[in-house]
Structure 1
Amino acid sequence: MPKLLIFGGGGAIARKLAAAATPTHKVVSVIRNDGHAADLAALGAKPLILSLEDASVADLADVLSAEKPDAVVFAAGAGSADRTRAVDYEGAVKVYDALEKSGTRRFLLVSAWDARNRDKPPPKHYTEASLKSSDWVWDKLKDYYIAKRDAEVELHRRKDIDYTVVRPVLLTDEPAGGATLGLATGGKVSRELVAKVLLALADRPETAGLTLDLADGEDSVEWAVARVVEERPDAWED
C-alpha cells in the first residue's frame, strides 16, 4: 500500500482525507495533541503527535525519514488569528525544509481560492461576482490570505519538491458531489470533495507544478483530475 502522511491531521478536511484514504493507503496523521488520536485510529490512520509550531525542521525531517511516505499533504490550519502566521506560513515553510532535508518529493498544499497578489490585476477568468467575493474574503481574513499567499510563493521557489497546490473556495459540510478543478470563479465546495480530490491528486504525480482552484461542479473527481493532467490549467500568477 502507498503511504500518505498528513500534517494538520486533526482538521476537518484531513480527517475526511484519512477516512477516504485508509481503504487503499497507509495513513499517518500528524496532530498537535491527542484530541483526535482516538478518532483517527478508529478510521485506520496512525496518529502521530507533533506540534508544527514547536517542532524543528530536523524533527519534521526525522518523521519523514522514518515514515517514508509516498506523498505528504499539508492541511494544517491555525484555527485562531493569533496563530495564523506561525502555522499557515511558518509551519508550511518548515515542512518544505523538512521535505528537502529528507529527500521526500511528492507534496500537496491545501491553500485557499484567491490567494493572489492583489497589487496586480485579477485573473482573467474572474467575474464581477468573483471580485466581490475576493473583496469580502480579504476584508474578513486578510492575515490568513497573506499567510497562504506567502506559503505559495515560497513553495514555488522550491525545485526539489514535486508539489501540487489545491485552492478550495468557501468550504461547506455538504456531501461530496461533482467538481470544478483548475480555474474557478468562486462559489462553494464540500470538505468531503476536497479530501477526495486530494487523494486522487496524491496518486497523480503528473499534476506536479500545478496550482488548482477547486469548487463544487459537474465533473466526477476522476474526470476532473484526468482533465487537469491532460490540459494542465494553472491558477498560479506570480
Structure 2
Amino acid sequence: MVKFIVIGGGGKVAQHFTKQAVEAGHEVHSVIRNDGHSEELKKLGAKIHILSLEDASVPDLTSLFTKVNPDVVIFAAGAGGKPPGPEVIDYQGAVKVFDAMESSNRKRLILIGAVDVRTRDKGWPEWYDEDDKSTSDKVWKAIPTYLDAKLKAEIELHKRKQLQFTVVRPGGLTLEPAGKVQLGKTHLKQTSRELVAQVILAISTKKGTEGLTIDVMDGEGSIEDELNKVVEDGTDAWTG
C-alpha cells in the first residue's frame, strides 16, 4: 500500500486518480480549498483535509505532511483560469509545497505540469515538427500567464536536490475514456484526464522515473511498455 496526499484533490484528474488508487488498495488523502468536493471525494474513498493553498503558510503544510506522513505527494492544484490566478496557485503554491516537503523530510513528488512548458529563447525542442511549432505559438499566445507560472515552478523544482520528483505533462485535456498512451518526448496532442491519472499511479510505483519530465499523450502503447521505454532510455522532456 502507498499513502498518497493529493494537493488540489477536487480536480478531474485528481478525482480519477483517487478512484483508481483506492480501488488498487492504496490510501489517499485529498487536500481541497473548501468542502465543495468533499462528499464526492469521500464516496471515492479519500480522507479529506480542508486547506487553501492560497492562504496556507509553509508551516501549515509542513504540519499537514508531518501528520499524514505520505509516501508520495501529488501536486494537482491549478487556478484553472479563476482568481487568485496561476501565479498564486500554480507557482507560489507549488513552491510552498516544495518548501514544506523539505521541512517535513518528504522526498517523493509527482507534479502535474503542462505540455510545452519551456524556456522559449532556447529555441524549439529538437523533436517538434511544424504542427507542434504552430500549436505551441497558439497556446503560448492564448494562456501565457499560466504557462509562465508552470515554467517558474518547474525551474524552481529543479533546484531542489532533496526532492525525488517526476513531472507529468499532459496535452490538451479531454473527458474521453482512457485508451492507449505515448510517453516521453511527444508531439503536442490531446490527452484523456482518466489516462493521465492512470499514468500518475503507474509512475508512483515505478523506479527510475525520479528526476524525469514526461509528456503524456493519447497514443498507441501501453502504460507499462511506454514507461519502461522512458526509464530505460532516460527520456527527459524538460527543456527549461
TM range (shorter): over 0.9
- Map of 2:161 onto structure 1: 159
Amino acid at match of 2:130: E
* Structure 2 match to 1:64: 65
Query: For the residues of structure 2 that align with 1:188 and 1:79, how far apart are their CA atoms?
Result: 17
Instruction: Spell out, residue by residue over 1:203-228, the C-alpha distance to the aligned partner (whole angstroms, 9 max, x if none).
Output: 12420000111100111112112221
From the superposition, tell whether residues 205 and 52 of structure 1 become closer, same or farther in structure 2 (CA, over 3 Å). Answer: farther
Shift of 1:170: 0.6
Partner of residue 14, structure 1: 14
What corresponds to 1:222 in structure 2? 224
Separation (CA, whole Å) in 1 of partners of 2:6 and 2:49: 10
The number of aligned residues is 238
**Is 1:189 the counterpart of 2:197 in the alignment?**
no
Name which of structure 1's ranges 38-47 and 225-234 shifts more when overlaid on structure 2.
225-234
Give the superposition deviation at 1:134.
Answer: 0.3
The TM-score with structure 2 as length reference comes to: 0.97
Match of 1:235 among 222, 234, 237: 237
1:54-133 to structure 2, matched below 5 A, reads 54-82=55-83, 83-133=85-135
1:76: Cα distance to partner?
A: 0.3
Once the 2 structures are TM-superposed, how far is the Cα of residue 49 of structure 1 from its aligned partner? 0.6
What are the residue-to-residue correspondences of 1:197-216 with 2, within 5 Å? 197-216=199-218
- CA RMSD in angstroms comes to 0.9
CA distance in structure 2 between the partners assigned to 1:64 and 1:194 by the alignment: 24
User: Is this contact kept in 2: 1:2–1:70, CA < 8 A?
Assistant: yes
Q: State percent identity of aligned pairs.
A: 49
Deviation at 1:9, TM superposition (A): 0.2
C-alpha distance in structure 1 between counterparts of 2:149 and 2:82, whole Å: 11
Q: Does 1:144 align with 2:150?
A: no
Is the 8 Å Cα contact of residues 162 and 205 (structure 1) preserved in structure 2? no
Q: Distance in 2 between matches of 1:21 and 1:96?
A: 23
Give the match's secondary structure for 1:54: coil
CA distance, structure 1, for counterparts of residue 90 and residue 207 of structure 2:
24
Partner Cα distance (1:106, 1:58) in 2: 19
Which amino acid is 2:26 matched to? H
- Deviation string 1:89-142 (CA, Å, 9 cap, x unpaired) is 000000000000000000001000000011111100000000011011101100
TM-score (norm 1): 0.98
Deviations 1:18-72 (A, max 9, x none): 0110022100010010010000000011111100011000110111111111101
Amino acid paired to 1:3 = K
Amino acid in the other structure paired with 2:136: S
Q: What per-residue deviation string (whole Å, max 9, x for no partner) do you get for residues 160-199 of structure 1?
A: 0000001111110000011111011111000000000001
Partners of 2:181 and 2:60 lie apart in 1 by: 37
Determine the C-alpha separation between the residues in 2 that align with 1:92 and 1:31.
Answer: 14
Match of 1:4 in 2: 4
**Do the aligned residues in 2 keep the contact of 1:9 with 1:31 (CA within 8 Å)?**
yes
Query: Which residues of structure 1 form unaligned runs of 5+?
Result: none
Which shows bigger deviation, 129-138 or 226-235? Answer: 226-235
Residue 232 of structure 1: CA displacement? 1.4
Amino acid at match of 1:204: K
